[in-house]
Amino acid sequence: MHDGMRRIFFTGLALLLGFLGNGEGVAAGIDWRLRMLMPTQESGSLMDNRTKSTSSSTTSELGFHIVLSNGFGFGATGLRSKGTVNGNSASTTSDNVDLSYTFGQRWSVTLGVGWALTGKATLTESSTRYDTENLRGGAGFALLGMPFLGGEALLGFRQSRVRYLDLKYDSGSTTTTRANPLKADTQQVLLGFGFLF
């Protein structure tokens, strides 16, 4: 995780733990919620040595989030991207752990941060394939919840940025490491539904 995102992540975590510690957050006493989130519009780019991809497709797995009665929430989101950068094909994956805090009961606002925990990237350059599982980055997201069919309808936005470092080619006898990291940026409009308990 790069320095800026690390500061955001740990600042958010400190705020969440502060709410948990005194037990009196703005959202104290809300219903437990199980939320499912699906991207309806996505855009993104891959970048290698300051050159953006000429084509990029981003796909996401269904995201799941749990919100506790004190407003604290956690969940998981997966991202997959493919594109062509400088004539080289590239693909990335990342599995993210999310932390959030929800304000409000019937109508709610959720603010959260995510951390890219695991993933990998592959880039093929001049028929040579470079791979890595060394990644740093994360995401920020916001959700609006409103009453719907006994649960809640959700509308939100998510911005993700992940850097893939130390892409390597292993020939068996020697290992070559690319100097430039591969970067993946993603923007998503989210729709979802939450079950209340």
CATH of the domain at 90: 2.40.160.20
Identify the pLDDT of residue 95: 94
Domain range for 99 is 3-196
**Is 106 within 8 Å of 147 (Cβ atoms)?**
yes
What residues are paired with 177 via a beta bridge?
Answer: 168
Over residues 8-35, the mean pLDDT reads: 60
Categorize the per-residue pLDDT at 41 as very low, low, confident or very high, splitting at 50, 70 and 90: confident
DSSP 22: H
Nearest to 195 by CA among 20, 77, 21, 66: 66
Residue entry with tokens 């989130």 = 37
Is residue 1 very low, low, confident or very high in pLDDT (cuts 50, 70, 90)? very low
Report the distance separating Cα 185 and Cα 35, nearest Å: 24
What total number of domains does the chain contain? 1
**Strand, helix or coil for residue 10:** helix
Return mean pLDDT, the chain.
85
Q: Based on DSSP, count helices (H) and strands (E) in the chain, helices before strands.
A: 1, 13
